[in-house]
Amino acid sequence: WLDSNGNIIGESITVTYERKGKTFTKVIPKKAYDYMRSLHTSRGKDANGEKLSKEEIKKRQHELFNFVYKGRIGNTEPGDGVRYRGRGGVQLTGRANYAKITKILNEQGIDVDLVANPELAADERYSAAILVAFAKDKGMFDPKSKYYISPEKIEKIKEGDPDAIQLQKSKP
C-alpha cells in the first residue's frame, strides 16, 4: 500500500468481487481487509462460519461503520460512523450530509434536526422530503448536472435497464 507520495506504508491485497454480472477489482490495505473481514457477518455467522449472537453482530456492525466512515463525510467525533450511517431511501450517510439536508429541510419550513436525531432520516414522515432535498442538492433535477435524471432515464430505470444509472458527462 502506498501513501500519496508513493512510499510503501503497508501490505496490500487485491480483492475481486462480482456485482450484477460484472467483475470488479480493488486494491486495499491488507490491515484494513483483515480488520473488516474480522467484523464481517452474513446470516448471523462470522467469516469462518461461526454463529454469532445478536449482540455480537450489532457490536461488529458498529465497529465496521466507525472504521469505514471515521474522519469522512464530516464525521469528526468518536462514534459518528455508526451514528450517521446510511439511512432512508437515499441512504443518507455522514454528519456533513445530515447537517446539509437538515438545513435544506429547515429552509423549506420542515422543523427537523437530523444531526441531533439521526434516526429520523429513516422515519417515513420525512423520507419524501429528504429524497427531494438530496436530489435537488445533488443536481438531479438540473439538466446541466452530471447527476441529472431525465424523464427518459427514469423510464429506463423503471424498466430495469442496468445501464440507466450511469453518470453523464458534465455539460459546460
**Contacts of range 79-84, beta carbons closer than 8 Å, 24 or more positions apart:** 83/118, 84/118
Query: Mean pLDDT over residues 48-60, rounded?
Result: 85
pLDDT single digits (tens) 139-161: 988 999 888 888 888 888 888 77
Give φ, ψ of 121 to 5 degrees: -65, -20
Q: What is the DSSP string of 79-122?
A: THHHHT--BTTTTB-SHHHHHHHHHHHHHTT----TTT-GGGGG
Query: Mean pLDDT over residues 23-35, rounded?
Result: 76
Measured CA to CA, the distance from residue 158 to residue 2 in angstroms comes to 42
More confident residue, 31 or 96: 96
Residue 86, beta-bridge partner list = none
Give φ, ψ of 10 to 5 degrees: 170, 165
pLDDT single digits (tens) 74-85: 999 999 999 999
The yes-or-no verdict on residue 1 having pLDDT over 60 is: no
| pLDDT on residue 4 | 62
The yes-or-no verdict on residue 51 having pLDDT over 80 is: yes
| pLDDT on residue 118 | 97
Instruction: Kindly indicate the confidence band of residue 135, based on its pLDDT and cuts at 50, 70 and 90.
Output: very high
Around 68, how many Cα atoms within 13 Å sit in the side-chain half-sphere? Answer: 18
Confirm if 10 and 31 have CB atoms less than 8 A apart: yes
Taking the model in full, what pTM does it have? Answer: 0.68
More confident residue, 167 or 86: 86
CA distances in angstroms from 153 to 86, 122, 148, listed in the order given: 25, 26, 9
More confident residue, 21 or 164: 21
The three cell numbers locating residue 64: 465496521
* Residue type (1 letter), 1: W
